[in-house]
Amino acid sequence: MNKKILLISTIVLALDQISKALIDITMKFGQSIPVLKNFFHITYYQNSGAAWGIMNSLTFLLILLTIFILIIIYRYMYSFKQNKRNILAFGLLIGGIVGNLLDRIIFGYVRDFLDFYIFNYDFPVFNVSDMAIVAGIFLLIIAIVKGEEVNGRDKGKRNKKPA
């Protein structure tokens, strides 16, 4: 694995696990602390499912699925052009996925605590790993749109005729 991807993944994983440990130590399950009233709260929640609680209580299946996804990402990342954005994208993705995987393996659920109210909608509670995963996916979508996902070569350059 690329050393930079490993470094980014490790930083994301550390930030995720430290922030979750602080929540575990300082809050009780279900406790909510308003930071910006009616917009942002720190709310301790334990999610035994995936995003938005889907596949609730299917922890073993989610662990297997996550390991499978990590294998696919590891194999697929080498087919992308190696630039700063793509290295960051895969580092964020891997670190975030591993952070939530560790929670599922150790606790049987994922510890969430970032709680936003947007236009009177109580957005599902999430964590640092979730943010890293979403940012990584967003950056990979940009890479795919730019055509950088074909064996490390830029599609645009490959399709141009020689002068």
Report the half-sphere exposure of 94 (CA within 13 A, side-chain side).
Answer: 25
Active-site positions read: 112, 130
Q: Is 71 exposed, middle or buried (0-12, 13-18, 19+ CB in 10 A)?
A: exposed
> Is the CB of residue 66 less than 8 Å from the CB of residue 102?
no
Could you tell me which residues come within 8 angstroms of residue 138 by beta carbon, excluding any fewer than 6 positions away? none
Give the single-character DSSP code of 30: T
